[in-house]
Amino acid sequence: MYMNGYRCFACSAIQTADYEGFLCPVCNGNLDITYDYEAVAEKIGDGFLQGSRDLFRFAALLPLKQPRPRFPLRVGGTPLYPARRLGQLAGMHNLYLKDDTLNPSASLKDRASAVTIARALDTGAETVSVASTGNAGSSLACLAAATGLAAVVFVPAKAPVAKLTQMLAFGARVLAVQGSYDDAYDLCLAASDEFGWFNRSTGYNAFTREGKKTCAYEIWQDLGGRVPDRVVVSTGDGNTLSAIWKGWCDLKAVGLIDRLPKIDCVQSEASAAISETVRQIRSDDGLQVDWSTLRVREVKASTLADSISVDRPRDGLAAVKAVIESGGEAVTVADREILAAIPEMARAAGVFPEPAAAAPWAGLKQMIRQQQVASDEHVVCIVSGSGLKDIQNAAKVIGEPQLIEPTLEALLKRTDKA
Ligand SMILES: Cc1ncc(COP(=O)(O)O)c(C=O)c1O
Ligand SMILES: [Zn+2]
């Protein structure tokens, strides 16, 4: 294992790899896992990036004791699609969709769950827990079922029914919290402490970022070693965005690339804590930010894109840092733009996103309109969760089936075309 410790995002305090806590012992900040990049760089010559299509092929840059754990489901290795027709709708020539709906539980969260479960197995844990808006819970339930661990999921009682169905089908203990995601989060923390469960919650468990960062490695591989100009990421807690940034930074640190993409943060106007914080920093002309004192905003989130409905981003600092360091944009879109992006993506690219996963396309169109992105840039939108997870919201914008008697005459009488 090339992991050599942890560094605090806020105060930069360093811990060794055998540290057993989850947060910084100095300031309670979130931790970033660090590696001996020089040693990894030497190993890369041996072609370690080749091999199976799942994310464990990147073992040299994962914090796992077993170099290549036998994992029963294939996580990662999802396709990167050139999306020419979709791109043309906004005059883009080089648009790609990274289709992470094709993971075992149909969201990008499986990357985080795979690596946290591998870590839980390394530590001998038997029960894993998580607070979730829905996807992290369905993902943990799925991969815990596949590996024989017990899973406990704390989820807002109002989570989309398909996500609750997934969790229950996979046999998790589902605690539907009468409150918000933030309430579920705090209860999960307290309960995991009390019962000694391995808590996979986003923005608390540093290992989630390590799983999700593999999404960047795969984009790089599928582009044949090319670095895109931008990666556009739907953002709630900010963990996914900071992970995608870390993936590119890792590749640079081990000498595989020599430039980095911009990472664009897209949030709903009705849940925009991270974007608002980035804008505030930029309007203060704050290129010299003191990360140890920066407070990420809190909002009262109300977006219908449930996966990114977050009052208090649990990995906000890491995400704000990533957007600022990469020079990306911090975009907010209206919920109606998010909804409109669903059928556009489905109809022009054949990829059906849940609302949160449609947000990057809605955000990219806005950036093009505002001339923040040029039409010839190479842009990757991450499609982070499947449309089948929230058909109620999709139903608002996709139209209705045509009810018809079973005769050709009835069909011929219809004036509307196919
Ligand atoms: C489909 C989808 N997209 C985007 C996100 C945002 O990730 P994060 O909360 O780490 O910002 C999530 C998180 O739940 C998600 O499920
Ligand atoms: Zn700290």
pLDDT of 45-58, one tens digit each?
Answer: 656 666 678 999 89
Q: Name the pLDDT band for 322 (thresholds 50, 70, 90).
A: very high
* Spatial CA neighbour of 202 closest among 87, 113, 293: 113
Q: What is the pLDDT of residue 286?
A: 60
Q: Is 402 helix (H, G, I), strand (E, B) or coil?
A: coil
Which atom of ligand 1 sits closest to the CA of residue 314? 9
How many whole angstroms separate alpha carbon 406 and alpha carbon 323?
55
How many whole angstroms separate alpha carbon 155 and alpha carbon 173?
11
How many whole angstroms separate alpha carbon 116 and alpha carbon 73?
14
**DSSP annotation string for 163-182:** HHHHHHHTT-EEEEESS-HH
Inter-CA distances, 320 with 217, 267, 284, 288, 289, Å: 21, 13, 14, 13, 11
Q: What is the pLDDT of residue 71?
A: 84
How many whole angstroms separate alpha carbon 69 and alpha carbon 50?
16
pLDDT at 68 over 70: no
How many whole angstroms separate alpha carbon 391 and alpha carbon 34?
40
**Which of 383, 384, 386 has most ligand 1 atoms within 8 Å of its beta carbon, as the pocket-test mutant?**
384
Ligand nearest to the CA of 113: 1
For helices 355-369 and 335-349, give the axis angle rounded to 10 degrees: 100
Phi and psi at residue 182, in whole multiples of 5°?
Answer: -65, -35
Q: Name the pLDDT band for 181 (thresholds 50, 70, 90).
A: confident
201 lines ligand 1 (CB under 6 A): no
pLDDT at 69 over 70: no
308 lines ligand 1 (CB under 6 A): yes
Q: What is the pLDDT of residue 49?
A: 67
Structure tokens at 160: 């989309």
267 lines ligand 1 (CB under 6 A): no
385 lines ligand 1 (CB under 6 A): yes
Q: What is the pLDDT of residue 137?
A: 97
Report the half-sphere exposure of 174 (CA within 13 A, side-chain side). Answer: 28
Structure tokens at 300: 């009262």
Q: What is the pLDDT of residue 212?
A: 98
The radius of gyration of the chain from alpha carbons, rounded to an integer in Å, stands at 21
pLDDT at 228 over 90: yes
**356 close to 305: Cβ distance less than 8 angstroms:** yes
**200 close to 112: Cβ distance less than 8 angstroms:** yes
- Nearest Cα residue to atom 4 of ligand 1: 234
Q: Long-range CB contacts (< 8 A, 24+ apart) of 342-345?
A: 342/387, 342/393, 342/394, 342/397, 342/398, 343/394, 343/397, 343/398, 344/86, 344/89, 345/86, 345/97, 345/383
Q: Name the pLDDT band for 275 (thresholds 50, 70, 90).
A: very high
Q: What is the pLDDT of residue 45?
A: 65
From the CA of 314, how far away is ligand 2's center (Å)?
15
**Whole-structure pTM value:** 0.96
From the CA of 330, how far away is ligand 1's center (Å)?
16
From the CA of 137, how far away is ligand 2's center (Å)?
28
From the CA of 264, how far away is ligand 2's center (Å)?
26
Q: Name the pLDDT band for 44 (thresholds 50, 70, 90).
A: confident
**302 close to 318: Cβ distance less than 8 angstroms:** no
Element housing 231 (H / E):
strand 230-234
Q: What is the pLDDT of residue 142?
A: 98
Structure tokens at 96: 């790609």
Ligand nearest to the CA of 268: 1
pLDDT at 223 over 60: yes
354 lines ligand 1 (CB under 6 A): yes
Q: What is the mean pLDDT of the chain?
A: 94
Query: Tens of pLDDT along 101-160?
Result: 999 999 999 999 999 999 999 899 999 999 998 999 999 999 999 999 999 999 999 888
**274 close to 313: Cβ distance less than 8 angstroms:** yes
Q: What is the pLDDT of residue 415?
A: 75
